[in-house]
Amino acid sequence: MSAERPLIAVTATSEREAQPYVDALAARGGAARVLTPERYEGVAEAMRGASGLLLCGGYDIDPARYGAEAEPATGKTDPERDEMELAVLRDALERNMPVLGICRGMQLVNVAFGGTLLQDIPGHVEPGGPNDGSVRHEVYVTPGSKLGAIIGAGAVYRTNSLHHQGLKEAQRAPGLMASAFHPHDGIVEALESPAHPWLMAVQCHPEREDEVPKSFRKLFDWLAGWSGRFGAGDMP
């Protein structure tokens, strides 16, 4: 294990948006380089020295990215951020680097692998609600999944939810596996890849630590820990 703090690239629309994720990584010994569309100057500079990638929540993904037209319920998009994130994700996957996608980040992973999205779904966010739109619901984590191994067990958990877009099995990219679902409406709550063992993506927001089970906070331990091993050249 390298004595240095692993450097993890964190994508966001702004520094302020990225801060909760940066804080979560710092608490686990990880250093962050925040990548925003405004400051992005290409993959080489963005990923220089990085040993992990965190794709944060944020605006809707431009439907044109998955061959669809925007529906009336589609929110604000940021095509420049889409372009940046797809580029750095490709780079990370090519190098087999640890990647964690959160909320929009999970949706971006699905689109990058050739999947599509449902542009509006009910019950997964409460605009203007008492917790900045966040609601709570059950998530079934599949036993034997990578997510189950990270958090400790496949079971039913109660997590936060802050998204109005998402996917079901029909929208899932063929190269990805769903490792968690909403048990009532079938919305996919986590994705992983058999071909990329260090890729994990979830719909919930574990950076809002008081809204998720303690076990879900282990996702940041997983990212920081394996990023440190990647940087040290100590990956299995």
Read off the pLDDT of residues 135-151 as tens digits, 9 standing for 90 and up: 999 999 999 999 999 99
Q: How far apart are CA 9 and CA 49, in angstroms?
A: 9
Ordered by start, the domain boundaries in the chain are 7-231
Q: What is the mean pLDDT of residues 177-203?
A: 97
Write the Ramachandran bin of 152: left for phi over 0, alpha for psi from -120 to 50, otherwise beta.
Answer: left
pLDDT at residue 130, as a whole number:
64
What average pLDDT does the chain have? 95
Catalytic residue positions? Answer: 103, 205, 207
Q: What is the mean pLDDT of residues 39-45?
A: 96
Q: Which 8-state DSSP code applies to residue 66?
A: G
Residue carrying the six token digits 């917790």: 131
pLDDT at residue 1, as a whole number:
38
Q: What is the mean pLDDT of residues 61-85?
A: 97
Q: How far apart are CA 103 and CA 147, in angstroms?
A: 15
* Residue 42 token pair: 């290409």
Q: Which of 101, 99, 100, 97 is nearest to 231 (CA)?
A: 97
Q: What is the mean pLDDT of residues 217-230?
A: 97
Percent of the chain with pLDDT over 90: 91
pTM: 0.96
Tell me: domain 7-231, CATH 3.40.50.880, correct? yes
Q: How far apart are CA 111 and CA 166, in angstroms?
A: 11
pLDDT at residue 4, as a whole number:
83
Confidence at 2, pLDDT banded by 50, 70, 90: very low
pLDDT over 60 at 161, yes or no: yes
pLDDT over 70 at 134, yes or no: yes
Q: How far apart are CA 226 and CA 140, in angstroms?
A: 25
Q: How far apart are CA 149 and CA 118, in angstroms?
A: 28
pLDDT over 90 at 40, yes or no: yes
Q: Which 8-state DSSP code applies to residue 64?
A: G
CA 105 from chain center: how many Å?
Answer: 4
Q: Which 8-state DSSP code applies to residue 60?
A: B
Residue carrying the six token digits 């692993």: 6
Q: What is the mean pLDDT of residues 70-99?
A: 97
Confidence at 206, pLDDT banded by 50, 70, 90: very high
Query: Phi/psi at 71 (nearest 5 deg)?
Result: -95, 165
pLDDT at residue 54, as a whole number:
98
pLDDT at residue 34, as a whole number:
98
